[in-house]
Structure 1
Amino acid sequence: MANGRKDDGYLKWRWKPNRCEVSRFDVGVVLEKLRGKRVVFVGDSLSRTQWESMICLLMNGVDDKTSVYEVNGNKISKKIRYLGVRFSLYNFTVEFYRSVFLVQIGSVPRHSPKRVRSTVKLDELDNVSSKWIDSDVLVFNTGHWWNRAKLFEMGCYFKVNGRLKLGMSTMAAYTTALNTWASWVENKIDTDRTRVFFRTFEGSHWSGPKGHTCKVTENPLVQSKSEYSEYRSQFSDIIREVVNNMTVPVTVMHVTPMGSYRSDAHVGIWSDNPTVPDCSHWCLPGVPDAWNEILFSYL
């Protein structure tokens, strides 16, 4: 709104799931349930958005706003790898770790083709993963960086067992990375203490040549039509298949279909840089609040 958006319907729409009710968000109850806990979000900028949403939702129940602060005094930034907000009156933190692939970024092997500038080590989890272990709620997400523009066009290719896999498809690489993540969860996380969630892809609404036009509408779509809905649903299917084969309990938050209706709720041209439309991220308040309401209903 500060950047010039006039309509406000995207603030008010809610989903009604089939055959169930999402619990009404009661900030007082949630604050008490989180007392003494550690909530950790891990992933890309969409995870950071969910982290921001949770903080905003919980702040509504805190009278003394000065009692809530970022532990290192940082301002929210795209590049900072760690952000943690402490609710000191309730002795809990809500943290975000930036890990866009969940697995490690690696070096380029010797004698590699010139087009290879960096690698993604599909068989090794991010080297900051040890910091995620001691948590009570752990929410993962990865997806938006698994595309040609973020990978091959930038000279980034996959590596397994120290060897380049130049011909490996994005889907195969994603599956390999998620199996690495699943093995890490099974071996490192005490699921008697820690509730583990994985949120699926979010629908984007790009159109035109190479998806350069952001189609923001004033109302949600009557039918779910997302430019990359089929592509994204394949990634969601991979997530659910990997989780179904795990030996420990993990909850998949399958938000891909519900987000694909919400072409009204993107940032669009109303960002800090209006010349670069944004149909990947969501306005706050808005869609990410629903993700957190679902998360709280599970908890």
Structure 2
Amino acid sequence: MMETMSSLSRSTSFSPTTSFSRSTSFNRSTSFNRSSSFKSRTLSVGSPRFSQSSWVSRVSQFSWVSRWLLTLIVICIFISFLIASYGGYIYVMPSLNLAFHGYGVSEYAHSINSCNVFDGSWVADDNYPLYNSTECPFVEQGFNCLANGRRDTDYLKYRWKPNNCDIPRFNVQSILDKLRGKRVVFVGDSMSRTQWESLICMLMTGVEDKKSVYEVNGNKITKQIRYLGVRFSSFNFTIEFFRSVFLVEQSWIPRHAPKRVKSILKLDKLDSISNQWVNSDVLIFNTGQWWVPGKLFDMGCYFKVGNSLKLGMSIPTAFRTALDTWASWVEEKIDTERTRVFFRTFEPSHWSDQTRRFCNVTDHPMLDTKGRDQSIFSDTVHEVVKNMTVPIAALHVTSMSSFRSDAHVGNWGDKPSLPDCSHWCLPGLPDVWNEIVLFYLPNDKELPFLGGFEPWHSGG
């Protein structure tokens, strides 16, 4: 079943406004009578001693005032110079940093700590797509929209631009070298499989011998297989996918269960194949699309905790319980000094109505999310991650994906009669998810804290 889901505006606005109001007001109001007026004037002009001493006194007074004002002006100019120098340093140094070191580690170290990459917008970019789906054998037919007859290609030409930083351009050789000897594991539903296929195709663009990239068991990419692994033999690493749509264990009808119960989810026990996820270097989880009545209650699937059936438990409560189980498992089983753990949030669908029969795939991203940027599943992921004692990254793709009504499979899947406004075309949106994951794979041991939505939690 189809699954749902500035420029450093350093307003270094330094207005060192130094205002001097020099108002020297001499208000001399001297009243003379006629008899004394002439005498006074005679004294003023004819008495050299009086005239000289008065002049000296006034000159002395003016000199003192001038020196005081001059000193004040010098001080103010000096302070203004310091402020302007500091502002220039703040403004210029990041540019110099890029000029000397390039757009790489230094910019990455700055952006990763100060920018929320999930707060941004979609911008047209002719450098996309990152690969040709016809040259990648790991794109399954149902996601290969171009091969299935889609003619408009504008949906391929969009890049995600965070508001306060940039995601570095995808450098395939750098990533291939970084992944040497590593093991990357995706766990989840078909949305995870789509992202898995996307990453393989992105990395294959940097491999000369395409035959050196192969599925380890010779399997064809299908939705039924629980494990798929693609090996890049020239670089000695694997990209793997484990199908676990609920993450917790699903089993058949228990004894003495009501007739409506056909299967159960053991909310307090992780999937039985979870031991195969442990020894990995990058571990990316996702679930949500199957947590709907049509995949649960309508199919007779209910919840169980311990020995108790929870027939009245709501789906949101069950989802939270399952994620708490996942979190405890990660804290106990995963060595986060070695393994980078990510949890990708819910991917919104764009069905035209609740029947899921009508799928309006647009030519360009939407201007209004119409509420699709909100999800109780995504909120739950953030709440659980926030309370964990080990560093985990929540990849908040819900909001950014909610604009991409143009990126769905639509009528260009492997079954044209069945429209699809849940899954995504490849190349397409999942490539951007992978760009963000690769952005957060630093060279050093310690993973930095992601800003904005606070998806990184350092524990404690």
- Residue in structure 2 matched with residue 51 of structure 1 by the alignment: 196
- Residue in structure 2 matched with residue 38 of structure 1 by the alignment: 183
Aligned-partner Cα distance in 1 for 2:168–2:394? 18
Q: 1:292 aligns with which of 428, 434, 437?
A: 434
Aligned-partner Cα distance in 2 for 1:36–1:229? 37
Shift of 1:115: 1.1
Tell me if 1:278 matches 2:420: yes
Aligned-partner Cα distance in 2 for 1:67–1:106? 38
Residues 199, 434 of structure 2: 8 Å contact kept: yes
| CA displacement 1:49-96 (0-9 Å, x = unmatched) | 000000000000000001110000001010100000000000000000
- Residue in structure 1 matched with residue 355 of structure 2 by the alignment: 210
**Which sits farther off after the overlay, 275-284 or 207-216?**
207-216
Tell me if 1:8 matches 2:153: yes
- Residue in structure 1 matched with residue 338 of structure 2 by the alignment: 193
Q: 2:378 aligns with which of 236, 258, 267?
A: 236
Residues 267, 321 of structure 2: 8 Å contact kept: yes
Residues 254, 263 of structure 2: 8 Å contact kept: no
- Residue in structure 2 matched with residue 109 of structure 1 by the alignment: 254
Residues 109, 164 of structure 1: 8 Å contact kept: no
3-state DSSP class of the match of 1:153? helix
Aligned-partner Cα distance in 1 for 2:295–2:395? 24
Q: 1:164 aligns with which of 303, 309, 330?
A: 309
Change (3 A) 1:223 1:209: closer
Residues 373, 400 of structure 2: 8 Å contact kept: no
Aligned-partner Cα distance in 2 for 1:48–1:236? 19
3-state DSSP class of the match of 2:382? helix
Q: Output the amino acid matched with 1:265.
A: A
Q: 2:239 aligns with which of 76, 91, 94?
A: 94
Shift of 1:163: 1.8
- Residue in structure 2 matched with residue 72 of structure 1 by the alignment: 217
Shift of 1:210: 2.3
Residues 109, 163 of structure 1: 8 Å contact kept: no
Residues 158, 164 of structure 1: 8 Å contact kept: yes
Q: Output the amino acid matched with 2:416.
A: P
Q: Output the amino acid matched with 2:198.
A: S
Aligned-partner Cα distance in 2 for 1:183–1:223? 37
Tell me if 1:265 matches 2:407: yes
Aligned-partner Cα distance in 2 for 1:170–1:18? 35
Q: 1:153 aligns with which of 298, 309, 313?
A: 298
Aligned-partner Cα distance in 1 for 2:354–2:228? 36
After superposition, the CA RMSD in angstroms is: 1.0
Aligned-partner Cα distance in 2 for 1:273–1:221? 25
Runs of 4 or more above 6 Å deviation? none
- Residue in structure 2 matched with residue 253 of structure 1 by the alignment: 395
| CA displacement 1:88-132 (0-9 Å, x = unmatched) | 000000000000000000232222121111111100000000000
**Structure 1 segments unaligned to the other structure (5+ residues):** none
Aligned-partner Cα distance in 1 for 2:222–2:329? 28
Aligned-partner Cα distance in 2 for 1:278–1:162? 39
TM-score (norm 2): 0.63
Aligned-partner Cα distance in 2 for 1:79–1:99? 11
Higher normalized helix content (fraction of residues): 2
Q: Output the amino acid matched with 2:397.
A: V
Aligned-partner Cα distance in 1 for 2:351–2:304? 30
3-state DSSP class of the match of 2:320? helix
Shift of 1:191: 0.2
3-state DSSP class of the match of 2:159? coil
Q: Output the amino acid matched with 2:272.
A: N
Aligned-partner Cα distance in 2 for 1:229–1:68? 37
**Which sits farther off after the overlay, 91-100 or 206-215?**
206-215
| CA displacement 1:20-64 (0-9 Å, x = unmatched) | 111211000000000000000000000000000000000000000
In terms of Rg, which structure is larger?
2
**% identical equivalent positions:** 67
Q: Output the amino acid matched with 2:349.
A: S
Q: Output the amino acid matched with 1:34.
A: L
Instruction: Note the 1:113-124 alignment, pairs <5 A.
Output: 113-124=258-269
| CA displacement 1:144-188 (0-9 Å, x = unmatched) | 000011110111111110221010000000000000000000000
3-state DSSP class of the match of 1:206? coil
Shift of 1:190: 0.3
Shift of 1:235: 0.7
| CA displacement 1:199-246 (0-9 Å, x = unmatched) | 0000100122523211210110011125x554xx21101000000000
Residues 189, 289 of structure 2: 8 Å contact kept: yes
3-state DSSP class of the match of 1:210? coil
Shift of 1:258: 0.6
